[in-house]
Structure 1
Amino acid sequence: MKYSQFCPVAKATEILGERWTILILRELLLGGRRFNELQRGLGDISPALLTSRLKSLEDQGLVARRRITGQRGFVYAPTAACEALMPVVVALGEWGLTWARHLLTDDDFDVDFLMFYLERSVDPERLPGGETVIRFRFTDLSEQRNWWLLIRDKQVQICINAPPRDVDVYFTTTVRTMHDVWMGDRTYRDAVSADELIIEGEPALTRNVSAWLRPSVFVAAPRQPIPASVSVVSKPVAMELALN
């Protein structure tokens, strides 16, 4: 898009203002490098549109595409121009925490998206031993309640079926509660005290979860309470919970 203005805001928006572009930059700045990884973090974007946006960002000097040696496919790395946008993206997220949280709906709390970010947040260097299994059970889901993170050889993998190994840490909670704790809207202690989160397993791992499960980059961001005059958007959900 062209605004035909000399204003630097207008020129920046010509590059960044297309739908999905800011979210693609978010994924790149948070470590996404492979096409499939970027697509997982973006959710509903089509492969064709993601390809088009990455090509545009490459042409604008924000992304460097490199073929993977000995393999098919490419890696996409942020350039210095892209990395300079990190404080902009963080500031945009902080603005959203202050002024747009009341627009969250039940549909926004997607378990696939949450697990993708939890997978990305695990620090294998802080986990003892060569292999660790973490199980999450989401009591508010009627299907696919159980998810596992398998950490092996410093790599983290999401599993929807139980790995052939004993679980080291169990989380039992709801999608919303796990989101709130990871995002920094509430503490682990608060959620556990309210009986909305149960953490069980090896004491060396359960005593300080945030040491190896890193919180969101917005954990320390300032937050304003949702004004009493604004109703939180909520989509009624009728589901029959079946205990696994």
Structure 2
Amino acid sequence: MLQNVKFGMSGCLGGSCKMNYNQFCPIAKAAEILGERWTILILREVLMGGRRFNTLQRGLGDISPALLTKRLKQLEDQNMLIRRRIPGQKGFEYYPSEACESLLPVLFALGEWGVIWAKHTILDQDFDAELLMLYLERSIDLDKMKGQETVIKFRFSDLTEQRDWWLLVKPEAAEVCLRDPGRDVDLYFNCTVRTLSEIWMGDRTYRDAIREGDLRLDGDPALMRNISSWLRPNMFANSPRSPGEARIPA
């Protein structure tokens, strides 16, 4: 009689449980890999170029180091990630497997669904300056930046702590700085975290935010004229914003 009982979790050894729905349905099998908390966001970070533990944790925010370590090990065991030792160092880098890379259109579709159907669940506390700055760092198109160095300063008027952030852009990389790098600033952004998040996500335009008094820019006129060319918008910037605009599969 017990052989017909199905358990939602199996393989519990040493306090580690593997999610198991005991169904042959491919959605159920996919959920066994992707359904654990944080898993999809970890894969998002890896697919966006995050390779090292600290970089992944930076993009995930509240996840504990212990849980991130556990999830990375699970994803490696499930052939979603490939772990490689960093030459000459103690740490590891994580690369997407072929199975992981094939999830990119799935995650994009999930994100587009979220833009339409989950946007109403966004709360004020969801607008996180650290996550926004990480995304802006990744969004700089280095090929469009002229000169050996560009310094961009952001002042977020809605923050009481760490109001000022800097992006130091060089030909080889862009880097977020929490302290004044001691260089001349080429462009100043003054706004709230929410305003810049909405602009980067594609919900507002720079022109509208400036006209409505929610964004003030100052600095190099060339940088201000061409912001959208060197600061690439979010991948969902051109996605449908309402059910009526959604693309219907053929």
**How does the TM-score come out when normalised to structure 1?**
0.89
Matching residue of 1:229: none
**Is 1:43 the equivalent of 2:51?**
no
Q: Which residue of 1 is the match for residue 228 of structure 2? A: 210
What is the rounded CA distance, in whole Å, between the counterparts of 2:199 and 2:171 in structure 1?
27
- 1:86 partnered with 2:104: yes
Displacement of 1:152? 2.6
For residues 116-127 of structure 1, the aligned pairs below 5 Å read: 116-127=134-145
Q: Match for residue 185 of structure 2?
A: 167
Superposed CA deviations along residues 214-244 of structure 1, whole A, max 9, x for unmatched, are 111111110128xxxxxxxxxxxxxxxxxxx
* Corresponding residue of 1:28: 46
Structure 1 position 144 matched with structure 2 position 162: yes
Q: Deviations over 1:94-125 (max 9, x none)?
A: 11111111111111011111111111111222
1:201 counterpart residue number: 219
1:60 aligns to what?
78
Q: Which residue of 1 aligns with 2:204?
A: 186
Q: Which has the larger radius of gyration?
A: 2
Q: Which residue of 2 aligns with 1:228?
A: none
- Superposed CA deviations along residues 184-237 of structure 1, whole A, max 9, x for unmatched, are 001111111111111221122111101111111111110128xxxxxxxxxxxx
SS at match of 2:99: helix
Q: Is the aligned partner of 1:102 residue 2:154?
A: no
- 2:146 is aligned, of 128, 139, 164, to 128
User: Identical aligned pairs, as a percentage?
Assistant: 64
What is the root-mean-square deviation of aligned Cα atoms in Å?
Answer: 1.1
Partner of 1:2: 20
| Inter-partner Cα distance in structure 2 for 1:224 and 1:191 | 21
| In structure 1, C-alpha distance between the alignment counterparts of 2:160 and 2:72, rounded to whole Å | 37
The two structures have a TM-score, normalised by structure 2, of 0.87
Q: 1: distance between equivalents of 2:171 and 2:197?
A: 27
Within 1, Cα distance between the matches of 2:98 and 2:184? 43
- In the alignment, structure 1 segments of 5+ residues that lack a partner are 226-244
**Aligned residues of 1:136 and 1:172 also touching (Cα < 8 A):** yes
Q: Report which structure shows greater RCO (CA 8 Å, sep ≥6).
A: 1
**Runs of 4 or more above 2 Å deviation:** none
Paired residues of 2:143 and 2:171 also in contact (CA < 8 A): no
Q: CA deviation at 1:153?
A: 4.2
- Once residues 162 and 90 of structure 1 are traced to their aligned partners in structure 2, the CA distance between those partners, rounded to angstroms, is 36
Report the residue type matching 2:163 in the other structure: R
Q: Count the aligned residue pairs.
A: 225
**d(CA) in 2 for partners of 1:96 and 1:72?**
38
For structure 2, the 5+ residue unaligned runs are: 1-18, 244-250
